[in-house]
Amino acid sequence: MKFSYYPGCTLKNHAKNFEDSTLFSMSHLGVEVEELPRWNCCGTVASLTADDLIHQLAPIRNLIRVKEANSTHLMTACSMCFSTLKRANERVRANPTELAQMNDFMYDEETPYEGDVEVHHVLSLVRDQVGFKDVTAKVVKPLAGLKVANYYGCTLVRPKQVAIDDTENPVVMENLIKALGATPIEFALKTECCGAYRTVDSPNIVADKTYQIINSARSRGAEIIAVSCPLCAFNLDQRQEATLKYHPDFIGLPVVYFTQLMAIAFGCEENVLQFGLHHFPPKPVLAGKGLI
């Protein structure tokens, strides 16, 4: 099955490490992905306004592009893009009148949207299409001894109708990490919000969240945190500097995308990992385990 790959804007610049490690891992797993031509921003945040259909155009237009690429399956790595695209998809599937209104507005598109594209996240795709047994079989460098706290944040598991796993206690990332040979660490705040866009106007709120989340993971013995969202990554990693200002006892942890851990286990070159984009350097802990 061919998947249309939807990168999202951030994976093209500040989260290039997410994109490179995703594409490397998909290629290693033999999953055929091709970047969608003419994709646009997903809309960034799923609009909750009931009568404001214009904010649903961005995600739905991307689904039209999938059809134009002769595909019916879209894969994305960013959990924010995933959530926005999937929620819009579910919304128009349930509301044919809204979909008709939107298609009518988009008369400039040659292909109307009919709810006929499936939106996948890399995590659910690896679980359902590849299978963790096959993942293990493809591992060339097991992540032996690495203790990983898997942070889901909000958008992978909420709201329920687009969740890729159990809303209260998701395990898909833990199972993937286990398949890669690492040790998943359970911690209480794995589905806590990172503070999201409050990082723009109130970094202190995010500093508090980062303090709580990282401390919770540290207290359980985690050595590294895996995420699947560039905004979570920014708040948990880049905001550690601000966190230290508000909480002088803060120690911190390296934060990586789960795809970077996949790429390491699949034997990637170090340039794929783009460690230059990280705030807390992940290299020492990984090198300490002989992984890079």
Partner 1 sequence: MSRKPVSKAPAGKQDKSLDQPKPKARMVTVYIMGKRHVVPEHATIMRAIEYSGQQIIRGAGCREGFCGACGTIYRLPGDYKIHSGLACTTLVQEGMSLTQIPAVPMEKAIYDVEKLSPDVDTIKRLYPVVFRCVACNTCTKSCPQGIQVMDYIQAAKRGDIAAIMDLSFDCVACGLCALRCPAEIVQHKVGVLGRRLYGRYLAKESKELGARIKQVESGQFDEEYASLMGMDKASLSKMYYERDIEP
Tell me how far, at minimum, the Cβ of 61 lies from partner 1, in Å: 5
Pick the stretch among 7-15, 84-92, 120-128, 204-212 that binds partner 1 (CB under 8 A). 7-15
State how far the Cα of 107 lies from the Cα of 248, in Å rounded to an integer.
Answer: 57
286 with 263: CB under 8 angstroms? no
Tell me how far, at minimum, the Cβ of 12 lies from partner 1, in Å: 4
Which pair of tokens denotes residue 144?
């032996």
State how far the Cα of 136 lies from the Cα of 250, in Å rounded to an integer.
Answer: 35
Q: Is 45 in the site for partner 1 (CB under 8 A)?
A: no
Tell me how far, at minimum, the Cβ of 137 lies from partner 1, in Å: 35
State how far the Cα of 4 lies from the Cα of 34, in Å rounded to an integer.
Answer: 5
State how far the Cα of 129 lies from the Cα of 3, in Å rounded to an integer.
Answer: 11
State how far the Cα of 123 lies from the Cα of 174, in Å rounded to an integer.
Answer: 11
Which residues, 66 to 125, sit near partner 1 by CB under 8 A?
105-106, 108-109
**Of 34, 38, 137, 221, which lies in the binding site for partner 1, with binding defined by CB under 8 A?**
38
Q: Return the number of the residue (6 or 211) whose C-beta is nearest partner 1.
A: 6
State how far the Cα of 55 lies from the Cα of 44, in Å rounded to an integer.
Answer: 10
What is the H or E stretch that residue 256 is in?
strand 255-257
Pick the stretch among 38-46, 119-127, 148-156, 271-279 that binds partner 1 (CB under 8 A). 38-46
Which pair of tokens denotes residue 262?
């996949």
Q: Return the number of the residue (88 or 130) whose C-beta is nearest partner 1.
A: 88
Q: Return the number of the residue (47 or 175) whose C-beta is nearest partner 1.
A: 47
Q: Is 205 in the site for partner 1 (CB under 8 A)?
A: no
**Of 9, 171, 205, 277, which lies in the binding site for partner 1, with binding defined by CB under 8 A?**
9
Tell me how far, at minimum, the Cβ of 105 lies from partner 1, in Å: 8
Q: Return the number of the residue (69 or 135) whose C-beta is nearest partner 1.
A: 69
Which residues, 48 to 67, sit near partner 1 by CB under 8 A?
54-55, 57-58, 61
Q: Who's near 154: CB < 8 A, 6+ residues apart?
A: 191, 193, 194, 196
**Of 3, 18, 21, 43, which lies in the binding site for partner 1, with binding defined by CB under 8 A?**
43
- Site size with partner 1, rule: CB under 8 A: 19
Q: Return the number of the residue (59 or 203) whose C-beta is nearest partner 1.
A: 59
Q: Return the number of the residue (79 or 191) whose C-beta is nearest partner 1.
A: 79
Q: State the alpha helices, DSSP H only, in the chain.
A: 16-29, 57-68, 79-94, 96-105, 122-125, 132-138, 172-179, 198-201, 203-219, 230-233, 240-246, 258-265, 283-288
Which pair of tokens denotes residue 225?
């945190």
| Chain residues in the site for partner 1 (CB under 8 A) | 9-10, 12-14, 38-41, 43, 54-55, 57-58, 61, 105-106, 108-109
